[in-house]
Amino acid sequence: MGRDLNKVMIIGHLGRDPEMRYTPSGRPVTTFTVATSRTWNTADGDRRTETEWFNVVAWGNLAEICKQCLSKGQQVYVEGRLQTRRWEDTEGVKHTSVEVVASEMMILGDRREQIPNHDADIPASFQGEEEYPF
C-alpha cells in the first residue's frame, strides 16, 4: 500500500489580525488569513499579478503564539495540512471551506515588523535616530 501525503507550505502576508477563541472544552483556536501573490508576464509582455487567499487555523499552543505574535501585514511562513469543512446554515444552504490547519509558523521579514507598535512609546522626534547622533 502506498503512502498518502497532505502537506502545504505558504509564505505570504497576514490579511487581518488573528482572532482567538476557545472550544467548549477550553482548547484555544486562532484563525487568520494569509495572502500569497505570484507575478508573471503574458505572451504580449504584460505583467500580471494574482493573489490567492488562505484561511489558516492554529490549535493549542500554536494558536496562543499566533495570537500573541502576529498582526495584519506581517510576512509569515505557515506549514500544515489542507482540510475541507462542509456545513449547512440555518436556511439550508450548503457551504464548503478549504483551510490550512497549521502545524508550524515562522515570522519572516524585518525585525521591526515583528513587534506590533514597537515604537509607540518613543517620541516621533527620536524614532529612527542613531543612539549617538555625533
Q: Decide if pLDDT at 42 tops 80.
A: yes
- pLDDT of residue 24 exceeding 80, the answer is yes
10 pLDDT more than 90: yes
* pLDDT at residue 31 tops 70: yes
For 35, the 3-state DSSP assignment is: strand
DSSP E strand boundaries for 42-93: 47-59, 75-88
> d(Cα 102, Cα 18) in Å, to the nearest integer?
13
**Cβ proximity of 9 and 77 under 8 Å:** yes
Whether the per-residue pLDDT at 25 is higher than 50: the answer is yes
pLDDT of residue 129 exceeding 70: no
SS3 33: strand
Rounded to the nearest integer, the mean pLDDT of the chain is 85
User: What is the reported pTM?
Assistant: 0.75
Show me where the domains of the chain are located: 8-40+48-114
pLDDT > 90: percent of the chain: 79
**What CATH number belongs to 8-40+48-114?**
2.40.50.140
Tens-digit pLDDT profile for residues 61-109 = 999 999 999 999 999 999 999 999 999 999 999 999 999 999 999 999 7
108, amino acid identity: L
Buried b (16+ CB within 10 A) or exposed e, 11-48: ebbbeeebebeeeeeeebbbbbbbeeeeeeeeeeeeee
pLDDT band for position 2 (cuts 50, 70, 90): confident
Q: Are 84 and 122 in contact (CB under 8 A)?
A: no
- For residue 128, is pLDDT > 90? no
